[in-house]
Amino acid sequence: MKLFKSLLRNRVAKNAGWLIAGNIAQMVVSFFVNIFTVRYLGPSDYGLINYAGAYTAFFTSFCTLGLGSNIIMKAFSDNPGKDGEVLGSAMLLRAVSSFLSALMIIGIVSFADRGEPLTITVVAVCCLGLEFQIFTTLNYWFQSKLNSKVSSIVSLTAYIITSLFKILLLALQKSVVWFAFATSLDLIVSGLLLYISYRRNGGNKLSFSRNIARSLFKSGAPYILIGLMVAVYGYTDKLMLKQMLNTSEVGYYSTAAAICAMWTFVLKAVIDSMSPSIIEAQKHDPADYENANCRLYAMIIYPCIAVSLIFSFFGKYIILLLYGIEYLPAAIPFRILTWYTMFSYLGVARGIWVVCEDLQKKSIYISVLSAFFNVILNFVLIPRMGASGAALATLMTECCAVFVFPLFKREYHANIKLMLKSMNPKYLIGEIRELIKE
């Protein structure tokens, strides 16, 4: 058993290493390109692209049908040897929902922003990539094999191609519509490369199974509403900023959010890589299952606190250095938003525990309450504080979603205890020691 754990931890560490290394390389490539792009577009046009992106992100729960990594991973485990059928069924379901979502987005924007042809065009162009987003499902297959090296290389390659395209647009001084297309181009290129890599790495032929599709839809259905509610308090801030104020405020808020997200690939890599071992521990070793969850939460809490302190103290200078004085109004939202990262990724990490405990339906309550709470806060704070009000609303909502609202559901008390327990430094120190040993 100890040998099995040692081998598993070693593979998890290597898998996380590839995910982190790939994202670091991607961050380096995008760093300067994005700075010049944001400076070139200015707060208004940059805000317009993010406004369009908020619509596509808002409909993500419909596009994905709630079929995230935890659901697909469990489907692999429940259907051994049928990876091709699981992936094919999930992708077909997502293809249909993505097409319908694109039609709904264009219809809503045509009504909400009638008289603004540029806004409608930018949103429609951003919708082009929705159908190719279905190929991201293949990432879960690579994760299940602890072979994220391939998907990391694919992601980096696609990003390099997109970055070169953006550089060309900057050189030719193209309009905001072309930069909107660049967001879709990234999904198109990465989707095609993922499928080619999947086949070359021995992936089974994709096929459709009605029984598996029915099972996937049933498992993912609770997450559709949950995803919608998460989207409400994750993206309505940008939509409301534009409708209540202007696209420049969306630009300031989006700039702050973008800097906060620059390093979160580390947290995502840790969560994705530790997910298989936590799911496996839940089946065989309750004590190790509890400790694994605590270690995961500790690996999120302490890095987030350290980074947020740095961003809080030096936020103004970071904004000036990267984007110039034109974006200085983003400094205060930046200092606020940086603290929401910890709560947000604790919520993502808790998703593994939720699936293991089969509490997907119970999560709907928390998501619905959080969504309503966030909308109310935005209505109150945005007119008074602009982008800073939207940032404060997001922080307060994430905090309540992780630690306050779950208190009203008895089934979640155990998870809150695990999160509080994980604040003991021994879990972070223990995890670091184990990784060093491996």
Mean pLDDT, the chain cut into blocks of 10 residues (438 residues total): 47 55 65 83 90 85 78 81 86 90 91 88 90 85 72 80 90 91 89 88 84 86 75 80 88 90 83 80 80 86 92 92 90 94 91 82 80 91 92 92 88 87 71 54
By residue count, the chain amounts to 438
Q: Distance between CA atoms of 327 and 260, rounded to whole angstroms?
A: 15
Structural contact between residues 232 and 312, judged by C-beta atoms closer than 8 angstroms: no
Predicted confidence at residue 391, as pLDDT, reads 93
| Nearest Cα to Cα of residue 189 among 135, 235, 143, 241 | 135
Q: What are phi and psi of 202, to 5 degrees?
A: 85, 15
First-to-last CA distance in the chain?
Answer: 16
Q: Where are the domains of the chain?
A: 2-437
Q: Distance between CA atoms of 373 and 405, rounded to whole angstroms?
A: 11
Predicted confidence at residue 4, as pLDDT, reads 42
Chain mean pLDDT for the chain: 83
Q: What are phi and psi of 245, to 5 degrees?
A: -125, -95
Predicted confidence at residue 3, as pLDDT, reads 42
